[in-house]
C-alpha cells in the first residue's frame, strides 16, 4: 500500500478538496482506495458520508491527529490518502508518525500572497521530514498575473506537479454531492485530477 499525506500550513488550503478528488481519481483508475481524516472538523468524513451508494467504493476512517499513535495500516488497500488539519505542528508526535508513513507528501498551494508566505514558512519543516514532496498549485485563475508569478515562486520552493487545478464552482458542489469531479461527466477539473493521479502514481512507482 502507498500512502499520500496532504498537508498545507494555511487554513482553507485546499487540503480536503485535493485529498478527496485525488482519492476518487485513483479509485476511478481501479485502485482500492481509502481516506483517513485526521481533522477534528471532519469535512472529509462528512463528504464520505454523502457518497452515493452506486459511487466507486472508498474506505474511510476518521481518527483525530491527536489520537495517531502508530502508522495507519488499513487492510486491503492499494492507496491511502490522508487529510490533515491546518495546525499540524500542534501535535508533533502524531504528525511525525504520519510523515514517516507517507510515500509522498502533497502540498496544495493557492496563488495568493498569504498562501505563498505560509508555504514558504512551512518548507523547512517539510524538508526536515525527508519525504518526497510535490507541490500542487490549486484554486488558480489561469489568466491572472498572480498565477504566472506563483508558478515561478512555487517552482523555486520544490517540485511542482505538472497540473494546476483551476478555481471552479464544480469543486465545492462535488463536496456536497459526496463525489470527486473525476467521477462527474463533463467537469473541467475531473480530467486534471486524473492527470494528477497518473503523475503521482508514476512518481511513487505504482
If binding is defined by CB under 6 A, does position 50 make contact with ligand ATP? no
Q: How far is the CB of 205 from ligand ATP (least distance, A)?
A: 27
Task: Report how far residue 72's alpha carbon sits from residue 168's, in angstroms, rounded to the nearest whole number.
Answer: 33
Omega before 90 cis (within 30°)? no
| Three-class secondary structure of residue 82 per DSSP | strand
3-state SS class at 188: coil
Does residue 122 belong to the site contacting ligand ATP (CB under 6 A)? no
**15 is a contact residue toward ligand ATP (CB under 6 A):** yes
Q: 87: how many CB neighbours lie within 10 A of its CB?
A: 11
Query: Can residue 167 be called a binding residue for ligand ATP (CB under 6 A)?
Result: yes
Residue 28 grid coordinates: 476511478
Terminal alpha carbon distance of the chain: 10
> Which residues, 42 to 71, sit near Mg ion by CB under 5 A?
43
Which of 3, 35, 101, 138: binder of ligand ATP (CB under 6 A)?
138
Query: What whole-number distance in Å separates Cα of residue 184 and Cα of residue 187?
Result: 6
Q: Smallest gap, in angstroms, from Cβ of residue 95 to Mg ion?
A: 15
3, 9, 13, 72: residue in contact with ligand ATP (rule CB under 6 A): 13
Residue 25 C-beta: closest distance to ligand ATP, Å: 14
| Cβ-proximal residues to 30 (8 Å cutoff; 6+ apart), any chain | none
**Contact between 49 and ligand ATP (CB under 6 A)?**
no
State the residues that interact with ligand ATP by CB under 6 A.
8, 11-17, 39, 41, 43, 86, 138-139, 165, 167-168, 171-172, 175
Which residues bind to Mg ion, rule: CB under 5 A? 15-16, 43
Amino acid at each position: 500500500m502507498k500512502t499520500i499525506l496532504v498537508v498545507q500550513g494555511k487554513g482553507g488550503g485546499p487540503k480536503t478538496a485535493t485529498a478527496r478528488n485525488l482519492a476518487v481519481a485513483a479509485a476511478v483508475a481501479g485502485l482500492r482506495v481509502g481516506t483517513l481524516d485526521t481533522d477534528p472538523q471532519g469535512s472529509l468524513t462528512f463528504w464520505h458520508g454523502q457518497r452515493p451508494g452506486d459511487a466507486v467504493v472508498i474506505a474511510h476512517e476518521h481518527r483525530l491527529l491527536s489520537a495517531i499513535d502508530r502508522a495507519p495500516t488499513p487492510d486491503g488497500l492499494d492507496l491511502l490518502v490522508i487529510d490533515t488539519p491546518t495546525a499540524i505542528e500542534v501535535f508533533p508526535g502524531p504528525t511525525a508518525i504520519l510523515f514517516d508513513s507517507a510515500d509522498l507528501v502533497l502540498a496544495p498551494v493557492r496563488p495568493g500572497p498569504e498562501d505563498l508566505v505560509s508555504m514558504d514558512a512551512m518548507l523547512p519543516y517539510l524538508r526536515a521530514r525527508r519525504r518526497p514532496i510535490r507541490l500542487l498549485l490549486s484554486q488558480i485563475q489561469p489568466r491572472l498575473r498572480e498565477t504566472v508569478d506563483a508558478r515561478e515562486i512555487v517552482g523555486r520552493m520544490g517540485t511542482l506537479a505538472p497540473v494546476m487545478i483551476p478555481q471552479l464552482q464544480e469543486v465545492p458542489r462535488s463536496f456536497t454531492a459526496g463525489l470527486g469531479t473525476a467521477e462527474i461527466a463533463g467537469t473541467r477539473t475531473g480530467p486534471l485530477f486524473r492527470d494528477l493521479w497518473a503523475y503521482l502514481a508514476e512518481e511513487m512507482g505504482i
